[in-house]
């Protein structure tokens, strides 16, 4: 502990996803990460997805961890490293909204969008919460875009889950590939 609390962590922020710590370390590019993404332990039989969950059912909820890990990789790869306010809003506003979204998605698993009651049909309130959370995420992304939060040089790397959608287009627009052959020294 430092004079005013815990010292910021050094090292890879990805390894600390889901911990209660706010100072996560830094990205691969050396960008410091501060975010709130605390993940609860597996709720076992009290969880809506317990029967279909593909992960081990102990420790931190792996569904939430994997979800936030993916969001962490995508968002921190796109943010402008020099925009401190954007990095703060990403970690303290947007990431917690995604954490809330996965909670709502888990709670809504198997729920019908409408239900019957004594006055007729009604919309399931959890679906309203789901839409409201998605709208809040969209609004926050819009606000971040408006303040120039995203790196002007464009996306870094390739999304490992969906790949590079422009790969084949670029193959055909750049013309034939020119190969250079190097002569090796022969004795």
Q: For the chain, 187 residues long, give each residue's pLDDT as a single digit of tens.
A: 556 655 555 666 767 777 788 888 777 777 778 888 888 888 888 888 888 988 888 888 999 999 998 998 888 778 887 888 888 899 999 999 999 999 999 999 988 888 888 888 888 899 999 999 999 999 999 999 888 888 665 555 555 555 555 655 665 665 555 666 666 666 5
Could you tell me the residue range of the domain that residue 46 belongs to? 13-108+122-151
Q: Could you give the CA distance from residue 93 to residue 140 in angstroms, rounded to a whole number? A: 8
Q: Is residue 80 part of a domain?
A: yes
Domain assignment present for 166: no
Residue 182 lies in a domain: no
**d(Cα 158, Cα 136) in Å, to the nearest integer?**
26
CA distances to 71, 99, 154, 174, 177 from 168, rounded to whole Å, are 25, 34, 18, 10, 13
Work out how many domains the chain is built from and give that number. 1
User: Do residues 35 and 22 touch, judged by C-beta distance below 8 A?
Assistant: yes
In a domain, 167, yes or no: no
30 domain residue, yes or no: yes
């Amino acid at each position: 502990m430092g004079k005013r609390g815990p010292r910021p962590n050094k090292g890879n922020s990805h390894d600390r996803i889901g911990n209660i710590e706010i100072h996560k370390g830094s990205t691969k590019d050396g960008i410091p990460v501060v975010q709130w993404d605390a993940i609860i332990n597996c709720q076992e039989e009290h969880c809506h997805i317990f029967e279909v969950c593909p992960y081990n059912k102990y420790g931190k909820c792996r569904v939430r961890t994997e979800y936030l890990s993916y969001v962490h990789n995508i968002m921190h790869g796109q943010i402008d490293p020099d925009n401190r306010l954007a990095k703060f809003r990403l970690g303290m506003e947007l990431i917690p909204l995604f954490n809330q979204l996965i909670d709502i998605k888990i709670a809504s698993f198997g729920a019908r969008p409408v239900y019957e009651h004594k006055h007729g049909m009604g919309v399931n309130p959890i679906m309203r919460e789901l839409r409201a959370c998605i709208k809040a995420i969209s609004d926050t992304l819009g606000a971040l875009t408006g303040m120039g939060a995203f790196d002007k040089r464009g996306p870094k790397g390739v999304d490992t889950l969906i790949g590079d959608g422009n790969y084949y287009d670029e193959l055909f627009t750049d013309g034939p590939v020119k190969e250079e052959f190097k002569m090796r020294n022969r004795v």
